[in-house]
Amino acid sequence: MHHTRREADDVRMRGFAQRHTVDAALAWLDAQLQPLTAEIVSLPFAAGRVLAASVASNVDVPGFDRAMMDGYAVISDSTEGASAYTPLQLEVVGQSMPGCPFRGVVRKGEAIRIMTGAPMPDGTDSVLPAEWIGVEADESGTNVSSPHVIVALAAVSPGKHVGKLGEDITSGTTILESGRVLRPQDLGVLSSIGHGDVQVVRRPRVRLAVTGNELLPSGMRPRGFCIADANGPMLAALIDRDGGLVDFPGLVKDDRDAILKSLHSDADIVIVSGGTSVGIEDLAPMLVAQYGELAVHGIAMRPSSPTGLGRIENRIIFLLPGNPVSSLCAYDFFAGRAIRVLGGRSKEWPYRAVCGRLNRKISSPIGRLDYARVTIADGLVEPLAVTGASVLSSTTRADGFVIVGEDSEGFPAGAQVEVWLYA
Amino acid sequence: MHHTRREADDVRMRGFAQRHTVDAALAWLDAQLQPLTAEIVSLPFAAGRVLAASVASNVDVPGFDRAMMDGYAVISDSTEGASAYTPLQLEVVGQSMPGCPFRGVVRKGEAIRIMTGAPMPDGTDSVLPAEWIGVEADESGTNVSSPHVIVALAAVSPGKHVGKLGEDITSGTTILESGRVLRPQDLGVLSSIGHGDVQVVRRPRVRLAVTGNELLPSGMRPRGFCIADANGPMLAALIDRDGGLVDFPGLVKDDRDAILKSLHSDADIVIVSGGTSVGIEDLAPMLVAQYGELAVHGIAMRPSSPTGLGRIENRIIFLLPGNPVSSLCAYDFFAGRAIRVLGGRSKEWPYRAVCGRLNRKISSPIGRLDYARVTIADGLVEPLAVTGASVLSSTTRADGFVIVGEDSEGFPAGAQVEVWLYA
């Protein structure tokens, strides 16, 4: 048994026997992913959420014909022949305000003062805009809504400046399709048809287990041989960005039981940071293999090679390397994708891509995908000279990154490349 | 006095005497805007916030030389001449783990088993990767950390696979500049230098006063001549998107005192929705003029012409038309810009622009800016046929909008246009 352990350790110390391609890892991952079930949220919390079911209206919006301009509601016939040279008198017999309509019936030769949005009075079919009227020299009225006479300086045709019942939304119409990421104006439309809440895809619960006995919790100053946790705050913000609900109860010791407890937490996704390689101290991969399926371990990419993907029961497990750049890169390639898809979103990166010209070559061996941090200014792309996956500040100095695919040896200076912009 | 009131009403009913250009309105607005003061937030709440002061590190990260690979820390001289054909023996005399270093001094011919991230033991200057060692047939050891012999199958040069003290961040270096929108990885870097919180620009407090006696609160089904409030939920989501803190205590009656109370609320910005035109029932413009400055009222744009901008004391006031498309458009042109700048952000739209070819002309009179909702598919841009500013569903059917400047008569079919994509 001791013998066996030594052998196992030596194998591990020598690295991964075989690395999966990124494509193979993604193929396994994508087969695990489907959107979660729905939940109901009220509109003030619905922006940016993903609609879980299409929404049809069962009301007309507006529910009545309404004025589209301030002016006078009339029977259009009453204005026939009116012009600046041949003004036609109309008697103002009332007013219609939004929410407070004129209740009578309007006859030819009469006009109802009306505000934009107010219901069209019975009998009227058009609005004579305020700009097209003159006022008779009748200054006796002290109430603007009391009867007085105006003159029409132009004719209006039937339906002019009238918004018809249902012109915005007709009852029975599907107004928003399932899967849509809700925009601010969508909330307005939902509200206008009487919805105060909406069915959206549940946000994936993501347990974040940041391991490493050398780590101090965020907020503590690094001292001696201890370093302050960088991955916890970073990963929590990434999970939130991708629509996940972060469960990050604190650092986890490099201890079998502590890690196992995290792996069995009540979550849709568990992300373990650190201790994911092939050393005997790397407990998480062994535990995933023992209690579930370690489907992918070791990926042909740099950084992030010691990444693992697996399942335990219904939970998808991501083992992200402790080096912070590896952690960011592996998150973006695998964990973020899963969080987005479970939450009903696109599997694509939330980063915007721009093109630029390399001012220096990027080399990368065939058979390995490389994640090269770059700056870009005036379309000129400069790779950062960085030594390794531990220099997190390279990802704050960088504007984004360039991906060199596994079947490429890189790009020569002067090549046009696609840059994925951070933030 | 009655006479005066009638005259004033008639003038108002006839529309704005003169409209401001969009550029003139923006010029006034921009002169009012400067970022707010700072506040301190803890890292879990800092993503997406705007840094209020540059941050320099007063620690080195890492604070010690560390291994960049799993393997054996050695004095590089010990491996000189080693190859697969001439393996060199090294005696393993201890191990160095992250946070748990080897405390002795290493001599030539000795090796310390070391994990990635662990401190380099005194005396060592390089790491011999695990892949480059062989193991002597010494199976007596039952503890992997007890002395045993390995063989080096390659030589390493001084400094090889060692991350030097301060290689990520050197004490005294400015790591993040004031004004930066914090990325997830920035939080990691801040944490790594011992910061648990950070100074960011305060979020502008935005009071939202949605007026209209005809409105029912969001969540109620429209009935009779009442409509459900669409602008409240939409504007609240827009304010939040732009980094503002929404204060939306509920609908406001078309009542002088109620509106005045909103205008005097404790906020950096007050947005009044509805009742912003020139009718006698449009109270907000008169109140802003009376109690502060109504700098802009009436803008040469469609929709959103009845928009007002002003100040009361330190508060910037936005009077947005009640028609929901106007409300969205005026928010995006004016209020959103102010919220972003007060919060330390770019005044530019948060929308992404793409180019496409118009499949139908867009006409617009000289002297007026137009906001045309469009769909775009396969680079083909189709203007939506919509009658007016009241059809909010046009902004959910649309993929985005095209702006026709005031000095343009529009675009012919086939023209390349810039489309600002919603969401």
Q: How far apart are CA B18 and CA B385, in angstroms?
A: 28
Where residue B8 falls among pLDDT bands split at 50, 70, 90? very low
CA A129 to chain centroid: 42
Q: What interface predicted TM-score (ipTM) does this complex get?
A: 0.93
Q: Which residues of B touch A13 (CB under 8 A)?
A: 70-71, 130, 133
Interface-testing mutation among B133, B192, B307, B395, with chain A (most A C-beta atoms within 10 A): B192
Residue A20 DSSP label: B
* Contacting A residues, span 153-212, partner chain B, CB-CB under 8 Å: 163, 167-169, 175-176, 181, 183-197, 212
Q: Do A168 and B352 touch (CB under 8 A)?
A: no
Q: Are B157 and B132 in contact (CB under 8 A)?
A: no
pLDDT of residue A8: 37
Q: Are B411 and B368 in contact (CB under 8 A)?
A: no
Which residue, chain included where needed, has tokens 């560390």?
Answer: B66
Higher per-residue confidence, B1 vs B319? B319
State the average pLDDT over residues B392-404. Answer: 96
A96: closest CA among A78, A107, A112, A74? A112
B235: closest CA among A297, A188, A412? A188
Q: Do B390 and A188 touch (CB under 8 A)?
A: no
State the average pLDDT over residues B345-359. Answer: 97
- pLDDT tens-digit series, residues B45-89: 999 999 999 999 999 999 999 999 999 999 999 999 999 999 999
B115: closest CA among B146, B161, B51, B182? B161
Q: How far apart are CA B324 and CA A136, in angstroms?
A: 35
Q: Do B238 and A214 touch (CB under 8 A)?
A: no
Q: How far apart are CA A137 and CA A416, in angstroms?
A: 74
* Torsion of Cα atoms, A408 then A410 then A414 then A416, to 10°: 50
pLDDT of residue A387: 61
Report yes or no: B149 at the A interface, CB cutoff 8 Å: no
pLDDT of residue B281: 86
Domains of chain B: 2-36+202-342 (3.40.980.10), 38-61+168-201 (3.90.105.10), 66-163 (2.170.190.11), 352-421 (2.40.340.10)
Parallel/antiparallel/unpaired status of strands B205-210 and B245-247: parallel
Of residues B97, B133, B238, nearest to A184 (C-beta): B238
pTM attached to this predicted model: 0.93
Report yes or no: A352 at the B interface, CB cutoff 8 Å: yes
Q: Which region holds residue B40: left if phi is over 0, alpha if psi is between -120 and 50, else beta?
A: beta
Report yes or no: A409 at the B interface, CB cutoff 8 Å: no
Q: Which residues of B touch A195 (CB under 8 A)?
A: 219
pLDDT of residue B4: 36
A2: number of Cβ within 10 Å: 12
pLDDT of residue A278: 86
pLDDT of residue A4: 35
Query: What is the token pair recorded at B201?
Result: 């620009």
Exposed, middle or buried: residue A364 (CB in 10 Å: 0-12, 13-18, 19+)?
buried
Q: How far apart are CA B350 and CA B340, in angstroms?
A: 10
Inform me whether the pLDDT recorded for B205 exceeds 90: yes
Q: Chain A residue with minimal CA distance to B390?
A: A168
Report yes or no: A68 at the B interface, CB cutoff 8 Å: yes
Q: How far apart are CA B22 and CA A347, in angstroms?
A: 39
Residue A120 DSSP label: P
Q: Which residues of A touch B423 (CB under 8 A)?
A: 181, 183
Q: Taken in order A103, A107, A108, A109, is the CA torsion positive or negative?
A: negative
Q: How far apart are CA A12 and CA A26, in angstroms?
A: 24
Q: How far is the alpha carbon of A280 from chain B, nearest alpha carbon, in Å?
A: 9
Which residues does residue B310 pair with via DSSP β-bridges, in sequence order?
B294, B317
Q: How far is the alpha carbon of B258 from chain A, nearest alpha carbon, in Å?
A: 18
Inform me whether the pLDDT recorded for B142 exceeds 60: no
Residues of chain A with pLDDT under 70: 1-15, 135-147, 386-387
pLDDT of residue A14: 53
Q: Which residues of A touch B163 (CB under 8 A)?
A: 387-388, 390
Which residues does residue A150 pair with via DSSP β-bridges, in sequence order?
A90, A135
Report yes or no: B249 at the A interface, CB cutoff 8 Å: no
pLDDT of residue B140: 42
pLDDT of residue B14: 53
Q: Which residues of B touch A99 (CB under 8 A)?
A: 212-215, 225-226
- pLDDT tens-digit series, residues B16-39: 878 999 999 999 999 999 999 999
Q: How far apart are CA B222 and CA B303, in angstroms?
A: 24
pLDDT of residue A386: 67
Report yes or no: B152 at the A interface, CB cutoff 8 Å: no
Per-residue CA distances from A7 to A294, B133, B372 (Å): 20, 14, 70
Q: Do A195 and B219 touch (CB under 8 A)?
A: yes
Report yes or no: B322 at the A interface, CB cutoff 8 Å: yes
Q: Which residues of B touch A56 (CB under 8 A)?
A: none
Inform me whether the pLDDT recorded for B412 exceeds 70: yes
B413: closest CA among B377, B382, B378? B382
Query: What is the token pair recorded at B423?
Result: 């969401």
End-to-end, the C-alpha distance of chain A in Å comes to 50
Per-residue CA distances from A252 to A228, A272, B108, B389 (Å): 14, 9, 37, 56
A203: closest CA among A152, A276, A267? A267
Q: Which residues of B touch A223 (CB under 8 A)?
A: 63
B215: closest CA among B201, B202, B225, B203? B225
pLDDT of residue B147: 65
- pLDDT tens-digit series, residues A45-95: 999 999 999 999 999 999 999 999 999 999 999 999 999 999 999 999 999
Q: How far apart are CA B342 and CA B344, in angstroms?
A: 5
pLDDT of residue B97: 95
Where residue B13 falls among pLDDT bands split at 50, 70, 90? very low
